[in-house]
Structure 1
Amino acid sequence: MKNGLTSVLLIVVITFILGACGNEEVTKPNEAEQNLNETIEGEQKDNEEGEDYGTSSTHDEEDTDRSVRFETSTEDQLDLRIGDKGKFDTDLTTFEITLNGAEIIDEVDDISSQLDSFILLDITLKNTGEETYTAQDLLYGLEVTAYLDSTGYQDYSEDFESVKGLEGDISPGEELSGEFITEIPKAEEYFFHLRSGITGTGASNEVVWTIPAEEAR
């Protein structure tokens, strides 16, 4: 009897142990699968948020890069002569230049031109804009050339003591007179204008003075 009872108890204990092990084996895979799903869902969420952020950033950069192209409201003046006034309308401001006179000379302050001659221009500069600018700002890019389709030479007045260059600030409505000097090759006529690198991009209207060599000697 005692042995029979012992056998029954042993069978019950073994059954309980096997049942617990079976439940543990089933539970562990389920927990692992749940953790994996949570990890995947978290990564997908992060990726979606990252993609949205990247798209938004790209749009912001495109909006920042957009700029309004400057459009001048002043007509081109292509046939000006000595004594004429030219009106400039640029992406910086507006101003006027009057070419009062032009003189071709071979030597300045005992210095000879590395080309053929110098040309000395007598000009009056007027600030017609709403802010104060330096004369250098307004004269930037102006040059004399013998050929409109070729690069010319800009102002060298600061290199010569005897040349009265245009310097200093010019307030709105104020005028300043002075001299513009540069080197030139031998030619029958010359052109005083803003270099094509500026007018060609639409940053200014085009203003051109034609200076016959015979009128400047």
Structure 2
Amino acid sequence: MKNLLIGLGLVGLLTVSACGNKEETTGKTVNEVSKTEAPKKNNTNKEKEVEGLGNYEGLKIGDKVSVKYGSSLEDKVAFDFTLNKMEYTDQSLGGKDPKYESGFIILDVTIKNTGKEPLEVDQITGVQYGSSIVVLGERYDFKDLSENKLLELKESLTGKMVVQYPKKGNQLTWGLEGFTTTFSYDIKADEIGDYVPE
């Protein structure tokens, strides 16, 4: 089941089309904003509206998204995803060198299990930055987010995810249309800080 979800997530990232609510910088989650503002509806996808999965674009660093799944996984698997900050380095990271004319984008994210069963951290794989897939930080010696980590109910975890990519404005996207909540963060190059090892 896990491999199916990962595969579907990866395929979906190539075809994500996002529309919907943009969170204001009030500290509210996307779902809280949805309840207080009239949501923009995508009339071409009635099924998605009925499922209430959510489809958000234009998110900024610090915004939190409540991710849900449809059909058989509804309410069982759900989590909050928050992009806390992004940093960049063109130096080696975890013993790996960046590709030619590129570097590493390091995402600091917080994941909170809001579902009804334990959440395997590798469920969040499939996040994409530009045209590249983001991986869990353990591949680059960041230990907090590992494939084997299990988040119990209501447990949250902050850690790193990494992608090899140039430092320039881009989007961070996730989700498979019609299967799960889809979202995209719009990132400007000047919002990406310089990575300083802790």
The alignment's TM-score, normalised by the length of structure 2, stands at 0.62
- Other-structure match for 2:176: 199
- The structure that is helix-richer by fraction is 1
- Other-structure match for 1:159: 139
- Other-structure match for 1:79: 58
CA distance in 1, matches of 2:111, 2:191: 22
2:172 match: secondary structure: strand
- Other-structure match for 1:89: 68
CA distance in 2, matches of 1:79, 1:191: 9
Note the C-alpha offset of 1:110. 5.0
Counterpart contact for 1:77–1:208, Cα < 8 Å: yes
- Other-structure match for 1:113: 98
1:119 match: secondary structure: strand
1:133 has 2:133 as partner = no
1:108-128 CA-partner distances (Å, limit 9, x unpaired): 145321151110011110111
CA distance in 2, matches of 1:191, 1:165: 24
- Other-structure match for 2:188: 212
CA distance in 1, matches of 2:108, 2:95: 20
CA distance in 1, matches of 2:87, 2:118: 30
1:176-217 CA-partner distances (Å, limit 9, x unpaired): 111111111353x122221xxx523x1112111112111103
Percentage of matched positions with identical amino acids: 26
**Cα 1:156/1:183, change in 2 over 3 Å:** farther
Structure 2 residue aligned with 1:123, among 79, 87, 109? 109
Counterpart contact for 2:132–2:163, Cα < 8 Å: no
Question: Which structure has the larger Rg over C-alpha atoms?
Answer: 1
Tell me how many residue pairs correspond in the alignment. 137
Q: Which has the higher contact order (CA 8 A, sep 6+)?
A: 2
Note the C-alpha offset of 1:140. 2.4
Moved more, 108-117 or 97-106: 108-117
- Other-structure match for 1:11: none
Counterpart contact for 1:83–1:100, Cα < 8 Å: yes
